[in-house]
Amino acid sequence: MLFTLEKIALRLYMAGLKTTTAILPFRWPTVFQGPGSSHQLLLYIQQQESGSLLLITDASLRQLGVLDAVVSQLDNLGLNYQVFDQITPDPTNEQIEAGYQALQAAGASALLAIGGGSVIDAAKLIGARAKNKKSVLNMTGLLRVWRGILPLYVIPTTAGTGSEATIAAIVSDPVQQRKLPLIDVRLLPKAAALDAKLMLGLPASITASTGMDALTHAIEAYLSRNATRQTDQQALMAAQCIFKYLPIAFAQGKDIEARQQMASAAHLAGKAFTVAGVGYIHAIAHNFGARYHVPHGLANAIVMPYVLTFSKPACLKRMATLARHCELAAATSSDQVAADALVERIRAMNQDFQIPDTLKTLRQEDIPAIAKAARAEARFTYAVPRYLSQQQAEQLIARLLPLPDDSSHAQPSHHDGC
């Protein structure tokens, strides 16, 4: 009875959130697309900015030479910049403070982020830190970045988070094992380039996990009760593209068409979920990231089949429509068959990508706390199709426990094979 009343209250709150989102002033970034489009972005920055830039990235991308072409274009154009490369996956407040100091030392007035979601989020956070003159830990939650951020330009090097098009940035708190989101329309970058040339060397394991993150965005946005006609179109296009091109990008990393299609799909999925929201897959995955340092996309990929199976009775038609749209099921198939085909396809992709179906590091004794935190994260944030009670959440997460003799399931990490 209590759970039913809670569900009614949550549905009403979510309906209010949908109305609020509809009137929020989204200023979507200007987007340049296509192999080599980073150069167009740099020309645009040259027109827009007279001061110097802080180029935010991570050290391994620099060492791998991913930045080389863009850096020489920056030099050729005579743009002033300093590099800050101290961002690592899942950035912390300490890294944001260090980036802020680098910004002040460089006297920079705008930011250029080149990297995956961690670097892009870090750049948003450094920009927010600089404009608001307070720690990002004091701006977590909804609409608390009052003074906005410094002008931010983005070149993603993964096709996953869509962070270049989202109103979110995540700061990790390693002490309390939490990942805290800042959610604010003012976090949107000014412009971005979706340039597949920077993604050609992305290792297969990261291609897979980041691509599955983008797929999760598309699916959770489509199944959200706060979906709109526009987010539906974006989510369907993105999902169709990911089902088609992610296996190609995984198997043939140098296939520039597959890389470019994935970059566009991840961007579209980012736009869809920034309006419609995500759901329990993310809520549970965030806890795996914070507690066990499982890379974000990998955690989503592992959790996705379980949450979709649980949600199916509440969103059978939508799952079926998505499956048919992506040609995972025949146009004449029943909703049940089509929805099952969606889950089966995700399981098969995980298997092809060597993504396990359990989480080796998950511990039985952590499950109640993870379930509680995931439910709390979703409660006033995500318009999920079906709510989990504490008991249902614990049962669902327990299915991810490794079997006692599960030694074959070495957990892949972003560092495997790099």
Ligand X SMILES: NC(=O)c1ccc[n+]([C@@H]2O[C@H](COP(=O)([O-])OP(=O)(O)OC[C@H]3O[C@@H](n4cnc5c(N)ncnc54)[C@H](O)[C@@H]3O)[C@@H](O)[C@H]2O)c1
367 CB neighbour count, 10 Å cutoff: 18
Cα atoms in the 13 Å half-sphere on the side-chain side of 326: 31
The rounded distance, in Å, linking the Cα atoms of 163 and 117 is: 6
Q: How far is the CB of 302 from Fe ion (least distance, A)?
A: 13
What does the CA dihedral 169, 173, 178, 179 come to, rounded to 10 degrees? 10
Contact window for ligand X (CB under 6 A) among 9-17, 47-55, 125-133, 168-176: 168-176
Among 197, 296, 312, 318, binds ligand X (CB under 6 A): 296
Note whether 161 binds ligand X by CB under 6 A. Answer: yes
Which residue, among 259, 294, 44, has the nearest Cα to 159 in the 3D structure? Answer: 259
Least Cβ distance, residue 386 to ligand X (angstroms): 22
User: Cβ neighbours of residue 155 under 8 Å, at least 6 residues apart?
Assistant: 38, 41, 70, 112, 113, 114, 192, 193, 195, 198
Q: At what angle do helices 256-276 and 204-223 cross, to 10 degrees?
A: 40
In whole angstroms, give the CA distance from residue 309 to residue 135.
40
Which residues 6+ apart lie within 8 Å of 142 measured at CB?
Answer: 183, 184
Among 21, 95, 132, 163, binds ligand X (CB under 6 A): 163
| List of residues 6+ apart from 347 with CB closer than 8 A | 305, 357
**377 near Fe ion, rule: CB under 5 A:** no
**Minimum CB distance to ligand X, residue 403 (Å):** 28
Tell me how far the alpha carbon of residue 275 is from its chain's centroid. Answer: 14
Window 138-157: contact mask with ligand X (x via CB under 6 A): -------------------x
Q: Identify which range of 166-174, 239-247, 358-366, 371-379 contacts ligand X by CB under 6 A.
A: 166-174
Beta carbon nearer to ligand X, 289 or 356: 289
Q: Contact letters (x/-) for ligand X, 42-81, by CB under 6 A? A: ----------------x-xx--x-x---------------
58 lines the binding site for Fe ion (CB under 5 A): no
> By rule CB under 5 A, what string of x and - marks binding of each residue 261-290 to Fe ion?
------------------------------
Q: Strand 191-194 vs strand 152-156: parallel, antiparallel, or unpaired?
A: parallel
Asked if 87 contacts 99 with a C-beta cutoff of 8 angstroms, the reply is yes
Site for ligand X in 378-417 (CB under 6 A): 414
Binding residues for ligand X, rule CB under 6 A, total 33
Residue appearing with tokens 């396809």: 345
Candidates 16-24, 105-113, 117-125, 368-376: pick the segment binding ligand X (CB under 6 A): 117-125
Q: What is the CA radius of gyration of the chain?
A: 20
Query: Per rule CB under 6 A, is residue 116 in the interface with ligand X?
Result: yes
C-beta of 74: minimal distance to ligand X in Å?
A: 18
Which of 65, 29, 35, 26 is closest to 194 using CA atoms?
35
Binding ligand X (rule: CB under 6 A), the pick from 21, 53, 67, 89 is 89
Contact between 185 and ligand X per CB under 6 A = no
211 touching ligand X, by CB under 6 A: no
The residue of the chain with the least Cβ separation from Fe ion equals 213
157 vs 321, beta carbon nearer ligand X:
157
Return the residue of 58, 85, 213, 377 that touches Fe ion, per CB under 5 A.
213
Work out whether 168 is an interface residue with ligand X (CB under 6 A). yes
Piece of the chain touching ligand X by CB under 6 A; list 20-28, 198-206, 254-262, 330-338 = 198-206
Which CB sits closer to Fe ion, 213 or 377?
A: 213
CA gap 381, 277 in Å, rounded = 8
- Taking each helix axis from N to C terminus, what angle separates 335-352 and 229-251, rounded to the nearest 10 degrees? 40
Give me the phi and psi of 62, to 5 degrees please: -65, -45
Token digits for 322? 């998505």
The residues that touch Fe ion, with contacts defined as CB under 5 A, are 213
Binding positions for ligand X, rule: CB under 6 A = 58, 60-61, 64, 66, 89-90, 115-119, 121, 157-158, 160-161, 163, 166, 168-170, 179, 198-199, 201-202, 206, 210, 213, 296-297, 414
